[in-house]
Chains A and B, each alone.
Chain A
């Protein structure tokens, strides 16, 4: 047994450890503690660890909302081999650390790199389930108290240039409605994890005129350091994607292909498919959902690179597409006899794999589970509801 392990070798070994082990090994010695909680290690562990890649992740984190009482649950679903046909899964539940003041579900703004952004009215939180740490953000500047009745659109994204996580809050002021000619541009407020505060940006000033957000209220896609919203251009009767860059804080328009399904008012949401910007479009026929098509922008920014990836027939079985898993499997909500279930659908083989119960369909969320040490160095805030476990005799 050697007495001394070189520092860079120790770092290499620590990089390969899962998050639970690292939290435990903070207790080994003070120098290990300061190493593990250092900003540099937190960043490098995420970028270097093979466990942090979504494509390597065999685990899903799923949010399911039960009603009466309206409580949300998070759980992990492990999936072993793709080829195994048996339902060989184990589920772990993750405790949700927050209590709603209105006995209702929180709004999930989004999740990126394993960090979740959650809000309820004026209260905003960032939660990292892999290290069970939740912090409360300061209150934003623009609120109903100060600005009157407002409506907001949210986005949560990661800026790889500065390694910073940002919550974007686009506030639409009261006098702005779709049909009036006089429209106040929205105010954009951004919270940066590095800065630790909200800041009103000038993005609102460059908000393209004549554009309004569509009704997609689920988490929006974050990709290439920008958040992407679905929007309508009523004047030209078309839908488009509005991106807000987290670096230069400027809005940009990404056009969609021509076609009936991309008219203004279409039910379109943004998502990420295999690292590419994608659209989930619901096509209606006689006011009923007929099918869902998934479009992918093969080359970011090139309008002619929009390709239809697949179409999913939404009979009464499938209800909504939640997102995409590794290997291009689609996560869908399905109505089964016992209620709503989360299923993994393989568009090539048309095979459906049931992954478990997921509660009320409108608030479900599923994404690859990614381990991250982010927030480890932030002071504790919202404490876990669970009490302290009893001491064990043997250590």
Chain B
């Protein structure tokens, strides 16, 4: 994704633009899609007015407030929208496209974490991406609609500035509005439970060739020489393991990890 390209005549439909995110990733985007981001459009038009020809190479539009992960999602959503320069479809094609889009939207929301929604909305707002903003705003509204007050406070990071007795009085007076709302603690527990997995015993496998060998440095079992060595209840592979780590701190403490 880090190659820049020539920027030919902007009116051609296959023109591409390069966008640079806050983490210095470069994205090559079709102009039709990029123009949906009105901030980009404005930048592009301002650049056109100024003396671009003298620059020679393509302008890279910087987006210092947008992270690459977020931009990826926004671009893929933008691609699914009806393009303004596309040839007008007949009714049937339009209906099929609408259904496809709805299916895509549902799939997108299913895999989205609520916190990511906020990032998407902030980015879409910065980019002035109207269709994206409308879609993600509606998704967020649908998400918080049935949530409790505590959830909303935690979600938006809002401090409760009511006195306890004031809040109590309000909840009593408008008890009907608080009916049927899931207590936030239970909601968190449910989410947590959904994430935990259980290990089932698959059974004993026989006849595997070659048989697994315990590593030379690992314990194998009781030994007549030293009675302090314990027999393991369970063993698992420990050499050449692929593991995960967070971006900020690598496992070896070096600058790069291979």
Residues of A within 8 A of B (CB): 1-3, 5-6, 8-9, 12-14, 16-18, 20-21, 23-32, 132, 388-389, 391, 394-395
A2 touches which of B119, B133, B171, B185 (Cβ 8 Å): B119
B144 touches which of A17, A20, A30, A132 (Cβ 8 Å): A17
Name which residue of chain B comes closest to A20, CB basis. Answer: B177
Q: Are A389 and B141 touching (Cβ within 8 A)?
A: no
Q: Are B149 and A27 touching (Cβ within 8 A)?
A: yes
B168 CB → nearest A CB, Å: 8
Q: A12-B137, A29-B160, A391-B172 are in contact. List 17 more A-B contacts (CB 8 A).
A: A9-B122, A12-B133, A13-B137, A14-B141, A17-B141, A17-B144, A24-B177, A27-B167, A28-B153, A29-B162, A30-B161, A30-B162, A32-B158, A388-B172, A389-B179, A394-B186, A395-B149
| Distance between Cα atoms of A9 and B181 in the complex (Å) | 24
| Distance between Cα atoms of A24 and B158 in the complex (Å) | 15
Chain A residues with CB under 8 A of B172: 388-389, 391
| Distance between Cα atoms of A12 and B139 in the complex (Å) | 12
Q: Are A21 and B145 touching (Cβ within 8 A)?
A: yes
B192 contacts partner chain A, Cβ-Cβ < 8 Å: no
B152 contacts partner chain A, Cβ-Cβ < 8 Å: yes
Given contacts A5-B118, A388-B175, contact A394 B183 (CB under 8 A): yes
Chain B residues with CB under 8 A of A391: 172
Chain A residues with CB under 8 A of B162: 27, 29-30
Given contacts A1-B157, A29-B161, contact A17 B149 (CB under 8 A): no
Q: Are B149 and A3 touching (Cβ within 8 A)?
A: no
B104 contacts partner chain A, Cβ-Cβ < 8 Å: no
B140 contacts partner chain A, Cβ-Cβ < 8 Å: yes
A-B CB pair tally, cutoff 8 Å: 89
Q: Are A1 and B155 touching (Cβ within 8 A)?
A: yes
Could you list some 21 contacts between A and B, CB below 8 A? A1-B115, A1-B157, A2-B118, A6-B122, A12-B133, A16-B138, A17-B141, A17-B145, A20-B177, A21-B177, A24-B178, A24-B181, A25-B152, A27-B171, A29-B153, A29-B158, A30-B162, A32-B158, A389-B172, A395-B149, A395-B183
Q: Are A6 and B150 touching (Cβ within 8 A)?
A: no
B17 contacts partner chain A, Cβ-Cβ < 8 Å: no
Residue of A3, A6, A12, A132 ringed by the most chain B CB atoms within 10 A: A12
B117 CB → nearest A CB, Å: 10
A16 touches which of B137, B150, B170, B171 (Cβ 8 Å): B137
A128 CB → nearest B CB, Å: 13
A28 touches which of B122, B160, B185 (Cβ 8 Å): B160
Q: Convert B175-208 into 0s and 1s, putting 1 for each residue whose CB lies closer than 8 angstroms to a CB of A.
A: 1111101011110000000000000000000000
Q: Are A9 and B121 touching (Cβ within 8 A)?
A: yes
Would you list the 6 A-B pairs with minimal beta carbon distance, nearest first?
Answer: A16-B141, A23-B177, A394-B183, A24-B177, A1-B115, A389-B175
A371 CB → nearest B CB, Å: 13
